[in-house]
Structure 1
């Protein structure tokens, strides 16, 4: 599908927490129109579409995909719908951005990578954390050799919205979200970021998974992410993990990752540190506009986001001058901008490589997740095959 420099019309599948966030980020671009929304029912779709002033509402994502006005499909639905929705969109000749995980299994994600390649359509997975300006700076510093030889990468991702047994969401159920909940939801972001920053890929894993609440109280009705509700409840057995600890090998680099959705007080905190032979750096999602730089032979530094002090490739991601913070919403606008500008430049036909995570990156995370599950079940190191 050739779009060129015209306005781009998008249909969004999913009206929960993240779908509206995608709508807001696309509207900031100035050349993207959200023309359709699909949700779990016609009533829900119409209500949400009216709230966001989206002209068309569909109770079926297949109807949205068939809409001739929709040129690009944004998949922000529960995980179980990712694979069939993405496949249908590609087969209909539409470019696709999909929330992570790309699919429920690596077999499904491999099929989607192959299909995207065969069609020549532009594909992306929403690993938006790459687009914090100071994480772009961290990547540039590592690439320019400022840290020397990289020895280790470590950190984690913590939330508390599933701390109580009355906290519930479709992600708790493996049938809806996949066998790995916290690793798939939070760990996939962190693992993508660790590989993005270091330029290395995960080659082996040793994992332990924890389910602290084997029984949760499921409400009789749907619950959006991070929402609290007062509904009648039924106790159900939990078949996904609440937390995980993973040791990593990225070639010669060693790493550790800890992820949890039961860390009281941590609302949404990713943290990553990279240690090298000359310097270290650390970024904390609770303070996303600061980058700590550690030295052995001179004072440590705290770089506050300032495009004039950053490498050119990192400064290009920042949209605001010094003193004006950029956060979660800005990262979504940045990844959407990269994706849609690539479409306008006619994708791979432009001769340029994508500057955003593609289905290849999404598939790699599915493969790593498979190995993490196998490692936890077998209590041993598992080598990660090339993806």
Structure 2
């Protein structure tokens, strides 16, 4: 094992029992950690999912998690629980990984950033699309000036899991998920990725949102297939008013005045998880499609080429994350494991931020996303351009 923590394995606890909790548990194991327990909605639920994930302990409460003193807690619960659970973990001096959105308001997110800084803990957010190797290749080429001066950035993030008017989950409930659904859930990923790649933060936004069905079942089951257990907690025969958006369109201006645009939808038939962006510059363009993550498209006035992930070629950051030979596909779970491994490397650094891997998304990035989400919602509510704090 690497240095820090006496060379022993990192001990990890997971809060949450849905699909994404399973992803975190698998990524933790892939990164060499020991997953010591899981906390669910009830003690029986904790025990059930602990058995399904082959985890030795199902916790009865958050207090039990903290008393067990894991090195890292992964918070994978509905959005309204992120702030109180992460804050409790941080105040106990435990490192934390919290799902996005970091909180249901920018104010809460900022409080978490301050608390983590004060406690001196590692606090990260899984903006894992940063960890596709070819994303790092595009970022490095942008930074090296190979695309020239930024002219525009555009793209979309499309899913179809809410296409059926009878589809629902806890995310539809603004009380559990927050005032934004589609943009908070997936638009935040797109914005983080594009700002990460270009190095140019968005400074203002004009947005519009739409709710395509006025009601949906008042059910709170899993968001996607792959959960250890469906775990419905409400009667799907009851319907509730929908107050969170299914689609959103946002037009941004960067600090240098350039335009960016994104279309976000959870009702795009046939699109399962299509995060796509293109960066256009004075010397060339680059595009990435998360559903085809092994390659990137680069173009200029003379033509275009497809660049494939390869650990023997390209910029160092791409090669670092390309962990298998070219032609042996890497994907989402590999990106997630790489993010978790970088988080644990920061934990092992024991306060030495100079040893943190480049590009590690922290609570500061999560707070940035919360500000973008809040501004998009405000702009959509009154149709005005809004500055992003």
Q: So what's the TM-score if we normalise by structure 1?
A: 0.95
Cα distance change of structure 1 residues 67 and 192 upon mapping to structure 2, 3 Å threshold: same
CA change 1:383–1:53 in 2 (3 A) is: same
In 1, the alpha carbon distance for the partners of 2:101 and 2:5 equals 27
Q: Does 1:375 align with 2:379?
A: yes
Aligned to 2:298: 293
Aligned to 2:307: 303
SS at match of 1:233: coil
Distance 1:37 1:354 in 2: 30
**8 A Cα contact 1:90 1:116, kept in partner:** yes
Question: Could you give the per-residue CA deviations for residues 289-321 of structure 1, whole angstroms, max 9, x where no partner exists?
Answer: 11010110x221011111222111221111111
Deviation per CA, 1:8-35: give whole Å up to 9, x if none.
10110011010011111111122x1000
Deviation at 1:353, TM superposition (A): 6.7
CA distance in 2, matches of 1:333, 1:232: 35
Q: What is the CA-CA distance between 1:349 and the residue it aligns to?
A: 5.5
Partner residue of 1:13?
15
Question: Within 5 A, what are the aligned runs for 1:25-44?
Answer: 25-30=27-32, 32-44=33-45
The residue number in structure 1 matching 2:78 is 78
Q: Helix, strand or coil: the match of 1:111?
A: helix
Match of 1:54 in 2: 55
By how many angstroms is 1:44 displaced? 1.1
Distance 1:211 1:127, change over 3 A: same
What displacement does 1:65 show?
2.1
- Give the drift of 1:36: 1.0
User: Residue 107 of structure 1 aligns to a residue in which SS?
Assistant: helix
Q: Which of 232, 240, 263 is 2:268 aligned to? A: 263
Q: Which runs of no fewer than 5 residues in structure 2 stay unpaired?
A: none
Matches within 5 A, 1:66-145: 66-68=67-69, 70-145=70-145
Task: Using the TM superposition, give the Cα deviation of residue 56 of structure 1 relative to its aligned residue in structure 2, in angstroms.
Answer: 1.1
* Structure 1 segments unaligned to the other structure (5+ residues): none
Determine helix, strand or coil for the equivalent of 2:323.
Answer: coil
Contact 1:136 1:314 in 2 (8 A): yes
Partner of 2:328: 324
Structure 1 residues 54-99: Cα deviation after superposition (integer angstroms, max 9, x where no partner): 111123233212323x121111111111000100000011000111
2-structure distance, mates of 1:322, 1:263: 32
Please say if residues 207 and 247 of structure 1, whose CA atoms lie closer than 8 Å, have aligned partners that are also in contact. yes
SS of 2:312's partner is: helix
Asked whether the 8 Å contact 1:11–1:65 carries over to 2, the reply is no
**Which residue number corresponds to residue 224 of structure 1?**
222
Give the length in aligned residue pairs: 379
Q: Is the 8 A contact 1:149 1:276 kept in 2?
A: yes
1:338 has 2:342 as partner: yes
8 A contact 1:146–1:278 mirrored in 2: yes
Specify the SS of the correspondent of 2:352.
helix
Structure 2 CA distance, aligned partners of 1:156 and 1:62?
A: 41
Equivalent-residue separation in structure 1 for 2:103 and 2:272 (angstroms): 26
- Using the TM superposition, give the Cα deviation of residue 177 of structure 1 relative to its aligned residue in structure 2, in angstroms: 0.4
Identify the match of residue 281 of structure 1 among 283, 286, 294: 286
- Measure, in 1, the Cα distance between the counterparts of 2:383 and 2:169: 29
The runs of 4+ residues in structure 1 deviating greater than 4 Å are 227-232, 349-354
2:363 is the alignment partner of 1:359: yes
* Secondary structure in structure 1 of the residue aligned to 2:138: helix
